[in-house]
Amino acid sequence: MFHKEGYKIIIVTFIIVAAVVLTADKIDIAWMKYLLQGIAVVFLILILQFFRNPKRVTPQNDAHVIAPVDGKVVVIEEVFEKEYFNEKRLQVSIFMSPINVHVTRYAIGGTVKYSKYHPGKYLVAWHPKSSEENERTTIVVENDTYGPILYRQIAGALARRIINYAEEGDQAIQGEDAGFIKFGSRVDLFLPLDTNINVQLNQTVKGGVDVIAMK
């Protein structure tokens, strides 16, 4: 199963790869022909892998904050969040490599209170300033258990397009698609200070499945 954001790229890639394979078939030098065809097929496989969208079943639990994306936990720290809260929050950041699933899912269910796009730079996603200086979207979802929780999709050196489905007033369903980040980046979560964090640094998590935090 592939994500809808990849349909166009997959079709174009398939056409290009088919053309390369057919053209290379006319080359008399065997090793060169097979090399070109092999590279083309591997490229297609990488594109298909990048846009895969595995079905995930998320048990609805208002006491849990689930991982919004697949990747590695690279930050767990107390910070001052100045865009929306203007107060200290617990930040949990998940870095996605190009081989991870890149669907962004709602970490909690509730009402979308804030959704804003920010143009910006394309620093590497693990850069300390990427959360404030890179192209990004900031979304706040609120429910009765946690109050407002903020998550931020951040573009990286390769990720040049952030897709955000959240609009103010929407009802977010925990685990459902909230967006997509093309070609690797990271997502930051900003949680209340009294939240019990359920993950550790460098832990690999699965979006829509693993519990990041709980009340």
Among candidates 25, 26, 49, which has minimal Cα distance to 37? Answer: 25
Residues 75 and 92: beta-carbon distance below 8 Å: yes
Residue numbers annotated as active site: 185
Side by side, which strands form the sheet with 177-181? 103-105, 177-181, 162-164
* Rounded distance between C-alpha atoms, residue 148 and residue 23, angstroms: 56
Surface-to-core class of residue 89, CB atoms within 10 Å of its CB (0-12 exposed, 13-18 middle, 19+ buried): buried
Residues 188 and 69: beta-carbon distance below 8 Å: no
Residues 84 and 114: beta-carbon distance below 8 Å: yes
Contact partners, residue 195, CB within 8 Å, separation at least 6: 65, 90, 146, 213, 214, 215
